[in-house]
Structure 1
Amino acid sequence: MAVPKRKKSRANTHSRRANWKAAPIALTTCANKACGQPVRPHTACENCGHYAGRQVLEV
């Protein structure tokens, strides 16, 4: 098994971990023209129950 020969410096460790940022949540608008609320992609709208232009949830 490979073992590092030298200890990684604190600066190198911190610079590597600097790229661990959380991505913002992607949002789109509801397909229902009357609603228009922001929803996550590929999910039914919690406000009106529409998905892909049709009613799928009872709200």
Structure 2
Amino acid sequence: MVIRMRHTRSHTKNRRSHHALKAVPLSVCSNCGAHHRPHHMCLDCGFYNGRQVMDLSTEKAKREARMQAKREMIKGEGSIPQPEKNEVSEPVAEDTTKTETKAKKTTKKKPAKKVE
């Protein structure tokens, strides 16, 4: 099907007027006073609805330990001496590894006979 009438600028803009992003309302944490999304736990202290749901101090300690181990591993990789690419390796004898194989000859297919 073909569109028969043009969409004018005003109608296009009227349609797009509902595409704007709306601001998310924030709630205040009853424990620490920080702002968080409604019906979600506080990301600063781990409290939701007046009780502690997640112990963020241990989670942050675990994450820090994991990141520290990762940093140490990356440092350790950098201290290993890598062989330089400019060094010339020993030449390999050319005739010792050559093996020659001959290709098999194939016959051409004959065209099929026409049946009249």
Shorter-normalised TM-score: what interval?
0.7 to 0.9
More helix by share: 2
More strand by share: 1
Aligned-residue Cα RMSD (Å) equals 1.7
The alignment's TM-score, normalised by the length of structure 1, stands at: 0.77
Partner residue, 1:6 = 5
Q: Could you tell me which amino acid in structure 2 is paired with residue 16 of structure 1?
A: R
The alignment's TM-score, normalised by the length of structure 2, stands at: 0.43
Structure 1: 4+ residue segments shifted above 6 A:
none
Partner residue, 2:27 = 28
Partner residue, 2:41 = 44
Matched residue count: 56
- Larger Rg computed on CA atoms: 2
Greater relative contact order (Cα 8 A, min sep 6): structure 1 or 2?
1
Distance 1:55 1:48 in 2: 8
Q: Could you tell me which amino acid in structure 1 is paired with residue 43 of structure 2?
A: E
Distance 2:14 2:6 in 1: 15
Where in structure 2 are there 5+ consecutive unaligned residues? 57-116
Partner residue, 2:16 = 17
Partner residue, 1:53 = 50
1:52 Cα deviation (Å)? Answer: 0.7
Mean Cα deviation higher: 49-58 or 11-20: 11-20
- Percent identity over the alignment is 38
1:22 Cα deviation (Å)? Answer: 0.4
1:11 Cα deviation (Å)? Answer: 2.0
